[in-house]
Structure 1
Amino acid sequence: MKNQNLIETLQHCAIQCTYCADACLDEDNLQKMIACIRTDRACAAVCNTTAQLLAANYKDVRGLVEYCQTLCNACADECEQHQAQHCQDCAAACRKCAEACQDYLAN
């Protein structure tokens, strides 16, 4: 499948973001986690949508991939502010996804 690596990276990122958002709900200071939860949810949605359009071989996805890269970096920035392992894992997945988006855009 064309763009298989990017699609898999997007899907992995979406799963990590969804898991992180859910795990944040169990944190002691939930108020402190609101921005993280919202950013995780947005990032997961955009990564899923981007993966679906790439899998469907839709041609005009460049703008969406650019936005996905921006959102993945924003999500990583947010998650890196928290010590929880789920946040650190999510940040790493988001950074990897942002790099994969950059590689796609460079071609």
Structure 2
Amino acid sequence: MFAIQAMASNSPFTEEICNLCADICERCAEECEKHEHEHCQQCADTCRNMSA
């Protein structure tokens, strides 16, 4: 939501905000991949797709 608001308002920080979101998704994916539960693997896949 924050990234969308930044884009909609033409914030000068949009790129940095989007990069931060991608970094958060990547770290989440790394953590979820450590667990064998199906829901953790699905979360990791979703996060990887979001940060790509």
TM-score where L is the length of structure 1: 0.42
TM-superposed deviation, 1:57: 1.1
4+ residue runs over 3 A deviation: none
The number of aligned residues is 50
Structure 1 gaps of 5+ residues are 1-47, 100-107
Deviations 1:26-78 (A, max 9, x none): xxxxxxxxxxxxxxxxxxxxxx4324x16x71212111100001111000000
Distance in 2, matches of 1:88 and 1:49, equals 26
Letter in 1 for 2:49: K
Counterpart secondary structure, 2:8? coil
RMSD of Structure 2 on Structure 1 (CA): 1.6
Residues 1:58 and 2:9 are matched in the alignment:
yes
Residues 1:88 and 2:48 are matched in the alignment:
no
Structure 2 gaps of 5+ residues are none
Distance in 2, matches of 1:97 and 1:70, equals 10
Distance in 2, matches of 1:58 and 1:93, equals 27
The percentage of counterpart residues that share the same residue type is: 30
